[in-house]
Amino acid sequence: MPSTVVAELRDITIAFPGVKALDGVDLVLRAGEIHALMGENGAGKSTLIKALTGVYAIDSGTVEVGGRPRRFSGTADAQAAGIATVYQEVNLCTNLSVGENVMLGREVRGRLGIDWSATHRAARTALELLGLQIDTRTSLSSHSIAVQQLIAIARATVLESAVLVLDEPTSSLDRSEVEQLFAVVRRMRDTGVAVLFVTHFLDQVYELCDRITVLRNGRRVGEFPTAELPRRELVSTMLGRELARLEAIEDRALAVGAADSTVPVLRVEDLGRKGVIAGASLELRPGEIVGLAGLLGSGRTELARLLYGADRPDAGHAEVHGRPARLSSPRAALAHRIAFSSEDRRSEGIIPDLSVRENLVLAVQAQRGWARPLSRTQQDAIVERYMTSLGVQPPMPARSSATCRAATSRRCSWAAGSPRIPSSSSWTSPPAASTSVRRRRSSVRSRTSRPAASRCCSSRRSSRRSCASRSASTCCKTGISSPKSSTRRTSTWMTSSP
């Protein structure tokens, strides 16, 4: 028997300046089903979720929930219509207790106001129905992200939501936490809720979901029962490439992997660092992608940092192309053409007060040293190569070679191999740099020293007051966060990135 349609989006179109994020997309969510939304980066998944949850107004198309046409004016509107959302970063109140969060807006009222005992009892019941034994009087912040997500789902049951949207909920969970989340989601499904699950993990789709909608370049490619869409076909549908071509790529990779006679590009044996990671060994052959798997805290990041010399190994040895190599610093690793993309890319992978262009040429300039500045033509060639490989237009005007050269002074030199990747806090207190960088920084500072909110509202006194009074809130015009700590970074991006 076909399940009841709970929510239906038809012919949804949403455009941003210069890009049609969604172009006539359909999505149907049914009661008692877990529905996966799949697609490559930029396919339009987040935009579609935001259309469903009232974050974005749609340009055209229709949204029906419970058989009634809806035009959401905001997230509260969508929530009132029965749509609950659980994000990767939990959006509950960390300063309140578990019970208060579960029951927020649905507190049990007595003759003298809120009956807290009854409220906590109701919260406990909601949690227990999902198999969760949690003391409802403990603070939400005392629980892990995984538990907080489960609490957010319990809240959805209290709100009697008909649709539960899970947006990349498992990205920061370990395996046992994922199992616990899935058990709770299955219980929700069994009570008749329609679940929309967005993830990049194919295994999880095949483990949990009944149906899959695939998006590509803002369009719906199709809707498939999971059991009828083999994994390889799902990948080719997402990528828009023929299965045969993908298989040829896979065969080539397998052939390379099978050629055991190939000398590994990188081989480490018993590589370790006292108190951080015990000896780990691995081999990486040409053309291979090797995954490091393990639970949170098992040492994956630590091993990656040792391979790049970001932390100095104190045991084991390494070989590059069969020759002994000392990976004692990023400089040494880069000399062996080993690069590192950090887990925390925002604080370790880029330098936010430099432009996109400067960030791109930085490592090359730093390797050459300050005495051999890159010419504008060389910078252009580097930028074009990177941007083309990323499929992005190179938008940045050239900086003077002096700026680039100065940028590679102490503060940035780790990118090309100073002994340590600095902690994120060290970004905020730049050491002395050459005159051109100092001059530029002071101009950036003078443009950004006021909080973003007060800057944007400077022409309207009343708005300025209201913005400034909402510490840690969002500026009414620009949408920029106003707390002082974040202002400079955000604004610097705006002023220095063309």
Ligand X SMILES: Nc1ncnc2c1ncn2[C@@H]1O[C@H](COP(=O)(O)OP(=O)(O)OP(=O)(O)O)[C@@H](O)[C@H]1O
| Interface contacts to ligand X, rule CB under 6 A | 16, 19, 21, 39, 41-47
Q: How far is the CB of 422 from ligand X (least distance, A)?
A: 28
In which residue are the tokens 């400034």 written? 468
**Which two structure tokens, joined as six digits, stand for 119?**
């409220």
Sign of CA dihedral 79, 82, 83, 86: positive
Q: How far is the CB of 363 from ligand X (least distance, A)?
A: 24
Q: Which is nearer to ligand X, 165 or 398 (CB)?
A: 165
Q: Which is nearer to ligand X, 200 or 376 (CB)?
A: 200
DSSP string computed for 96-159 = SBHHHHHHTT---EETTEE-HHHHHHHHHHHHHHTT----TTSBGGGS-HHHHHHHHHHHHHHT
**Which two structure tokens, joined as six digits, stand for 94?**
């960390």
Q: Which is nearer to ligand X, 52 or 123 (CB)?
A: 52
Q: Which is nearer to ligand X, 87 or 370 (CB)?
A: 87
Q: How far is the CB of 39 from ligand X (least distance, A)?
A: 5
Q: Which is nearer to ligand X, 16 or 160 (CB)?
A: 16
CB atoms within 10 A of CB 150: 26
Q: How far is the CB of 54 from ligand X (least distance, A)?
A: 15
Q: What is the 3-state secondary structure (H, E, C) of 397-459?
A: CCCCHHHHHHHCCHHHHHHHCCCCCCCHHHHHCCCCCCHHHHHHHHHHHHHHCCCHHHHHCCC
Q: How far is the CB of 33 from ligand X (least distance, A)?
A: 21
Name the burial class of residue 302, with classes exposed (0-12), middle (13-18) and buried (19+) by CB atoms within 10 angstroms of its CB.
Answer: middle
Q: How far is the CB of 198 from ligand X (least distance, A)?
A: 8
Q: Which is nearer to ligand X, 402 or 476 (CB)?
A: 476
Q: Which is nearer to ligand X, 12 or 452 (CB)?
A: 12
With beta carbons less than 8 A apart as the criterion, state whether 442 and 490 touch: no
Q: Which is nearer to ligand X, 45 or 488 (CB)?
A: 45
Q: Which residues contact 4 (CB under 8 A, 6 or more apart)?
A: 30, 31
Residue 263: DSSP 8-state:
P
